Amino acid sequence: MADILPDLAKHSTNATVVFLGNNGTGIEEYEKYINPERILLGFPGAAGKRDKHVMRVVFDPEKSHITIGGPSGKFTARLYKIKNFFEEAGIPVIVSKNVDAWLKSHIALISPLANAHYMLKSQNKSLLEATEIFDLVANAIIEGIIVLRKLHYPILPKKLRLVRYAPKLLKKKIREIYTWKWFDIAMKGHADHAIDEMRQIAEEFQRLVKKSDISTPAINALYTSIPSPK
């Protein structure tokens, strides 16, 4: 991403620039090149994998949406314009007043799930066969929430806050996620084709862990399962 920022700065002098995707560092790199008032962050509620020359994507037009917001948390004219642009194309939009915290919360959830997939794959096991990895996933998600709370980031969406105090409910939800029909495409397939991305967001969250000075043995154990660069 950093490689394209100079070109974006050069060719989008007054444009609104929307960065959609996992992000654990906010706009700290982007604002070196682009005025923060022109930056929007967000995440598309879709996932997929490559199957040779075919892209297989999970997207439910009735349930999927894009979460989007600006660094200031304000509902600006630029944000309103982009929101309308997506909705006119038939894509629902949810505006977040703290999209940076939303994206960090998303990594706290998705990174352990992806890294557990790598660990299970290396051991040729399913999640239901490996109770120790199942526990690692749940503990890692809880650790991530504790890290974010220590750094004073709100946990978003709000329902994610409950898992810290309801580990049994969290494990039930993880079990459901791993048995969903779309999981092979949206999680396993995506993780297998986006190892660099999963490594990057895990490293970005490690920076937050270090800053918080919180012990995160489960996050650390799953982090080591990410395949090395080829």
Confidence of residue 215 (pLDDT cuts 50, 70, 90): very high
Task: Report the 10 Å Cβ neighbour count for 154.
Answer: 16
Name which residue leads in pLDDT, 183 or 19: 19
Q: What angle do CA 20, 224, 166 make, to 5 degrees?
A: 70
Contacts of 128 (CB under 8 A, 6+ apart): 134, 175, 178
The domain segmentation of the chain, as residue ranges, is: 2-95, 99-223
Amino acid 2: pLDDT: 75
Residues 3-41: tens digit of each pLDDT? 889 998 888 888 999 999 999 999 999 999 999 999 999
Give Cβ neighbours of residue 4 (< 8 Å, ≥ 6 apart): none
Q: What is the mean pLDDT of residues 37-50?
A: 88
Residue 205 pLDDT greater than 80, yes or no:
yes
pLDDT tier for residue 131 given thresholds of 50, 70 and 90: confident
For the chain, give the percent of residues with pLDDT over 90.
Answer: 63
The amino acid sitting at 177 is I
> What is the rounded CA–CA span in Å between residue 47 and residue 187?
8
**What is the mean predicted confidence (pLDDT) over 193-210?**
95
Q: Cα torsion at 164, 201, 114, 172 (round to 10°)?
A: 10
Residue 62: strand, helix, or coil: coil
Look at residue 214 and tell me whether its pLDDT is greater than 90: yes
- For 2-95, CATH gives 3.40.50.720
Most confident of 12-16, 61-65, 181-185, 197-201: 197-201
> Tens of pLDDT along 63-118?
678 999 999 999 999 999 999 999 999 889 999 999 999 999 999 999 999 999 99
Strand locations in the chain (E): 17-20, 39-44, 47-51, 54-58, 66-69, 93-95
